[in-house]
Structure 1
């Protein structure tokens, strides 16, 4: 940052920020007839959380006080996740508290939903799953079993004793290193399974596995299995295959659950209430930005105006990280506390500029030249900016680790700290920590680097060399 400023630096950076902000807020899309093609996602494409969109927050527990094992709770979680997928509710949160045998589920209203019955949805999601092993894999146009597959049920959930994901460690095996699911059958299913596998092994037929009316797997029968112990081999040895094996084992176990799930409690949020809250938060954000901009320009003049341009870029970039503007990053679910984090970041975003502008004003009034004052202002103001932002980053990371998903990046990275918190329903706090963290990190990019480049550039224009524009006194001599 010791290079001399050029006037074009200001114009190039300012134009790039304005263009980026325009696309980040409005997005880029094309309309062809009734089809809309989204090229770049904007603010209107942000995924909103339950507290904005409306939805249901429900806690499931085993009925009749049944003391479930961790494996059984994991299987029950798989049932709920499969049900949510079947209902086309993909924007959901499912947490399992193994210590208290609780499964916390949060899911939003469907898009455009006007008449939604939360009780029936809860009953549908928490109902006991029906697991079946069927001959073949014939399905109708809706993907449901038909023909031989519908008529020939080989096993039911009660016939499965356990399913376990494992990896083949036998170096002499043809499937060495591959993941598989080990099945152990109850006596009630051994005979029918032996008959089916003996018959189907001759033609290399298949036995499909169904969760309700959804086919979750269809392994090929390679040999007769008469002892009640089967192996479903997955072709692969990577992490993705391991996760598939674990998921399949959990789903199979869910069909053999010895308990039903009951809704301990639930709460609902009206979509209209969330929409009103969103409108209020957006207005608050716009007002906060305008007030901060007026304060910066009134108190720090030209450095303040440059800081406002940088702040616009910071706000737009924060929204870009939320909306899915960058195709390599998935969109993030934004909640009301998340919007509060953005508003808070707006106030904190000018912190670096306030410190630098005050330093510049002091240096000019002490007799330094404009170039020397700008250089000294940013150099001397950098240390306190770093200290202040690092402390906020620590807090944001703690919020994301403690109140986010247990398989999240920060939760895994700092597992010895966060394991005590257990599964959390406070996804809204996680959203707050995310937007706050992104905003503070972007403060280094826009509040320090971009502002410095723009200010050094514009200060080279002859019309911008008046000390008054930087907080000095009119016609004050500088050295």
Structure 2
């Protein structure tokens, strides 16, 4: 930080301006009637059921098929996996074993204009494509790459059954029984991978989502295998359901469907967005008038924080699906921006105190950031803990945070509350960005601009020029 050069301010500021513009408006090109999206804008956000409404659909097996409870649970796991894979957090999935049906509610797609529920449910109605692949190589989007993309060992129809069991030591396992064709393929693959050092892995994929990657411990010749090193019996049941889903003897059919009206509507969203814009403008005016140059730098950093949060929910790049944003999610964004304002106020006050205490300008800036960081860190780390707990407790059971903290969150049981999960997600993204923009970017810009002679006047930092 001591060697920050003069150009750094302009580089950081221009980067923030670029991110701000592209996060809201995106970048796309058009050739004739074909539009190519390079960067997604705010108009691609997938809004939750509370804001935009969605689809209510009931799935059933084909006529004449009496699905077992395990098969329905497997089908439910398929649908949940697909929703999570699309970053759709605001959903509800129920199974009705008495009537052999699965009820699903989820929001409209971000680009939906016709609001046709029949088209919307096509992304959920197919039986999942299950595959066992060699290794666990992925590209930057989490898709199979290298040998993992090239070598499919088993497909879902080669799995006869998967069952969650407990061994003699009480450890959860998933027991696999393969068909004759699957047993032959597994014989060749495990015989080869078990001899590697370190031992090879066989990853299990549901559509384009890797759900497990067990290590090959032994050569399996009889078509009966077990997956070990699973957290608890609930995780074992969940994995078994997903594996069974790839071998379902039926395709899910749509019994009925209808549109869901939003509980709050786009008007509530627009009102909250307008309130946020007005609040940002008032805060910017206050920061600039009261903290002068510190305030100008803080406003630029706040713009970067807002842009970063928008990027976090739009997906930004076309290959990444947008995150489902609910009204509480907007509240999380606004709250995290408030934390960003607080961080900049703390730093500006500390710099002002150091300048008035007689320190040199460079010494005051360094000391101001160092003194203010402890308070900023304490408040922000507390908010991160709260956000992670909300996401782990009320988010999808397959979410990253639920898996990372499964020993803690297993007591809550499976639950999906899209509103709460959305709030936790935007709050977490915003607070992390506060460290990046409100601390790091602000310091870089302020140390850089303070090297220019016109900006070395102490009154610009709250002091009094001699």
Q: Does structure 1 retain, via aligned residues, the 8 Å contact 2:57–2:254?
A: no
2:413 aligned residue: 422
2:17 aligned residue: 18
Q: 2:29 is paired with a residue of what secondary structure?
A: strand
Of 444, 458, 474 in structure 1, the residue corresponding to residue 435 of structure 2 is 444
Deviations 1:27-54 (A, max 9, x none): 1111222221111111112222222221
Q: How many angstroms apart in 2 are the aligned matches of 1:108 and 1:38?
A: 23
Q: 1:294 is paired with a residue of what secondary structure?
A: helix
1:151 aligned residue: none
Q: How many angstroms apart in 1 are the aligned matches of 2:45 and 2:441?
A: 26
- Stretch deviating more after TM superposition (286-295 or 323-332): 323-332
Deviation, structure 1 residue 262: 11
1:41 aligned residue: 40
Q: How many angstroms apart in 1 are the aligned matches of 2:4 and 2:305?
A: 22
1:164 aligned residue: 161
Deviations 1:314-363 (A, max 9, x none): 11011112111146744212111111111111111122211111111111
- Stretch deviating more after TM superposition (341-350 or 5-14): 5-14
Of 400, 404, 418 in structure 2, the residue corresponding to residue 413 of structure 1 is 404
Does 1:358 pair with 2:352?
Answer: no
2:279 aligned residue: 288
- Cα gap change, 1:462/1:98 in structure 2, threshold over 3 Å: closer, same or farther? farther
Q: How many angstroms apart in 2 are the aligned matches of 1:394 and 1:433?
A: 10
TM-score of the aligned structures, taking structure 2 as reference length: 0.66
Q: Which has the larger radius of gyration?
A: 1
2:27 aligned residue: 28
Q: How many angstroms apart in 2 are the aligned matches of 1:441 and 1:82?
A: 27
Deviation, structure 1 residue 291: 2.1
Q: Does structure 2 retain, via aligned residues, the 8 Å contact 1:4–1:456?
A: no
- Cα gap change, 1:470/1:287 in structure 2, threshold over 3 Å: closer, same or farther? same
- Cα gap change, 1:248/1:457 in structure 2, threshold over 3 Å: closer, same or farther? closer
Q: 1:38 is paired with a residue of what secondary structure?
A: strand
Q: How many angstroms apart in 2 are the aligned matches of 1:357 and 1:351?
A: 10
1:381 aligned residue: 372
- Cα gap change, 1:82/1:300 in structure 2, threshold over 3 Å: closer, same or farther? closer
- Cα gap change, 1:329/1:385 in structure 2, threshold over 3 Å: closer, same or farther? farther
- Matched ranges for 1:287-326 at <5 A: 287-326=278-317
- Matched ranges for 1:198-347 at <5 A: 247=242, 249-250=244-245, 255=250, 268-270=260-262, 273-326=264-317, 329-347=320-338
TM-score of the aligned structures, taking structure 1 as reference length: 0.64
Q: Does structure 1 retain, via aligned residues, the 8 Å contact 2:92–2:104?
A: yes
- Cα gap change, 1:96/1:283 in structure 2, threshold over 3 Å: closer, same or farther? same
1:112 aligned residue: 113
- Cα gap change, 1:167/1:299 in structure 2, threshold over 3 Å: closer, same or farther? farther
Q: How many angstroms apart in 1 are the aligned matches of 2:393 and 2:82?
A: 28
Q: How many angstroms apart in 2 are the aligned matches of 1:405 and 1:105?
A: 14
Q: Aligned-residue CA RMSD in angstroms?
A: 4.5
Structure 1: gaps (5+ residues): 62-67, 130-161, 180-230, 234-242
1:93 aligned residue: 91
1:454 aligned residue: 445
Q: Does structure 2 retain, via aligned residues, the 8 Å contact 1:76–1:254?
A: no
Deviation, structure 1 residue 247: 4.7
Deviation, structure 1 residue 4: 3.7
Deviations 1:241-274 (A, max 9, x none): xx999657336557599xx9999xx993249x52
Deviation, structure 1 residue 23: 1.4
1:188 aligned residue: none
- Cα gap change, 1:370/1:423 in structure 2, threshold over 3 Å: closer, same or farther? same
- Cα gap change, 1:34/1:393 in structure 2, threshold over 3 Å: closer, same or farther? same
- Cα gap change, 1:432/1:46 in structure 2, threshold over 3 Å: closer, same or farther? same
- Cα gap change, 1:261/1:333 in structure 2, threshold over 3 Å: closer, same or farther? closer
Q: How many angstroms apart in 2 are the aligned matches of 1:251 and 1:34?
A: 38
Q: 1:29 is paired with a residue of what secondary structure?
A: strand
Structure 2: gaps (5+ residues): 61-66, 128-158, 163-175, 191-221, 225-237
